[in-house]
Amino acid sequence: MQGSTPRHLRLTQWRSSRRRHQWSCSVCLARNVHDETVEPAPRREGSFSRPGRQAASGVSQSFNKGAAMTTHACAILCIALFCVSAPAEDWTHYGRDEGRVSSSPLSLRPEDSIGAAQWTTSVGPGGESLAFLGQSSVVQSGDNVVALGWVDGVFAAIDVFASTGAVRWWTPVAAPTLDSWSSPAIDANNQCVIVASATQLQALDLQTGAVRWTANTQNDIANASPMVTTDLGLRDRALITDFGFSGQSGLLYAINVDPFDPVENPYQPGQIVWSVGVGPLSGASPARFEDKVIIATSDGRIAAYPIDTAAPPEPVWESFNPTGLGFFGTISVRGGFAYAASYAFNGGQLAANLVKLDASDGTVIWSTPSNRTDAIPIPTDDGHILLSSGLVGFGSMPSLQLFEDLGSSASLLWDTFLDGGPTLGYWTHTPIVIESPHGLQAIVSEPPQGDPFGPAVRSVRVDLTKSPGQPGFVIETLEGAGASAMGGGGRLYGIGPGGIVARVIPIAPCPADFNSSGTVDVFDIIAFLQAYAANDPAADLNNDGVIDFFDLQGFLGLFASGCP
């Protein structure tokens, strides 16, 4: 009987079963992709090609319509039975989630303005003066928005209501050292926020701010933000690195976040399960790929470690930057690949490099010159990578860079500084990409004024289908704050000199509601498949002039995400 199985085991079994079925969905669809190639339709102005996708996946640009009925039936079963999930609205980590891909699928049209702030938080519940850690990221889950800053000069974690901006609670935490701009992470399962600062990792109750547990690190934490798992049954972990340099090794820690269980999880909450010396580390926020955690070191290594183990682990794989440059930031993981950007202490605008690796074994796929940065590379679903980078001096200038993934290589499409665009991007700032069906966009902070680690005074929304010199590249300027999170209900959050600022995103009609009924249901699946089979232009979801497997794949993703 179901009741005889503990809840946590049922949940784990359901998650495992769902992953298997989603994998089966992909296999079923892939088996119906024909290897016949047809001449693609002319590309529309302003649209992107998807370079290298055939080389990367072995899938041609055309979809075999002869297998359409089989594929359609498979798609209906996959979506209706297994692929429907709650909208991925929360922004629980620096870089959104465990994979650190700072993007959102919101349906935002370029012509729709985000506009003025909905609310700004600058004062505590007792009239306290609030100031926030400028280059740190806001995180959000449900009605909780959490940031780090000072309350009347006392460093604290500060929680505000997402709906109103009113302060729910604030709790003093260890003040940062080494000019650190670490961000918190939210453990939604255990309803707490995890803060990394100085030599402490602390879990605070999400509703009251009470300290749940404290773990101490050997060294100070410098710019690294915690990662927390939520799908390992009773054995979820928080991962963090501390600072290491020269002969002093930095460590990677796995800390238990779940309740004690004598069999499944013989650790108290906050207990360090394992730690391992990695070498020189700074800003190495852990990122996740499947059952592994991946970090990059300041001596140019990228390594993956198993998460769910009791003993200090050896690397599953280890790779080295082909240029020998070090990494001082966070890796992102998407589609089975890991992306990392290095920092060069001298040289010009392209003195550093961006690398792509196979996340399963660490094979370096390509390396291409880039501007220096500690920010996270943002890979997009259509084969591009956005990078915020640079600072004034030492041969570099702040810039936003867009790269094109060509499969076995990559090329720089543009750099806002080199190509005469606006002053955007910064070595400590990770933008937000909006992967809208109405066109790829990004919200990017301008470099801070004065204090290099202070808050940005404005952010800019740009159209990534255009180059920096084209009219319409800058869609709008948002005064008052930078941009660091795009959370539930279509809200944009950022930190500015005046506090936390929230704006409402004017979401366009939901593309998953294909029949415009106001409800996302099986009738939207039927309507899309009918349009797809009839070669109706409405089924060309990615606007590339070809109705093919990639449009079907895109609709699967849209339907699974639901509507914001």
Does residue 4 have a pLDDT over 90? no
On whether residue 93 sits in a domain, the answer given is: no
The number of distinct structural domains making up the chain is 2
Residue 488 is predicted with a pLDDT of 74
23-54: per-residue pLDDT in tens? Answer: 344 444 443 433 333 333 333 333 343 333 33
206: domain CATH number? 2.130.10.10
User: Which DSSP string corresponds to 407-476?
Assistant: SS-EEEEEETTTTT--S---TT---EEEEETTEEEEEEEPPPSSSTTS--SEEEEEETTS-TTSTTSEEE
432-461 mean pLDDT:
91
Residue 564 is predicted with a pLDDT of 58
Give the residue with greater pLDDT, 98 vs 488.
Answer: 98
534 with 470, same domain: the answer is no
**Which residue range forms the structural domain that includes residue 43?**
2-87+514-561
Pairing of strands 167-172, 185-187: unpaired
Token pair for 503: 């704006």
**Backbone dihedral region of 191: left (phi > 0), alpha (psi from -120 to 50 degrees) or beta?**
left
On whether residue 114 sits in a domain, the answer given is: yes
Q: Which of 66-75, 94-103, 480-489, 540-549 has the lowest mean pLDDT?
A: 66-75
On whether residue 509 sits in a domain, the answer given is: no
264-306: per-residue pLDDT in tens? Answer: 999 999 999 999 999 999 999 999 999 999 999 999 999 999 9
497 with 530, same domain: the answer is no
Q: Are 370 and 412 in contact (CB under 8 A)?
A: yes
Does residue 468 have a pLDDT over 50? yes
Residue 556 is predicted with a pLDDT of 87
Q: Which of 89-103, 196-210, 365-379, 450-464 has the lowest mean pLDDT?
A: 450-464
- pLDDT confidence tier of residue 558, bands split at 50, 70 and 90: confident
**Last residue within a domain, chosen from 464, 481, 504:** 504
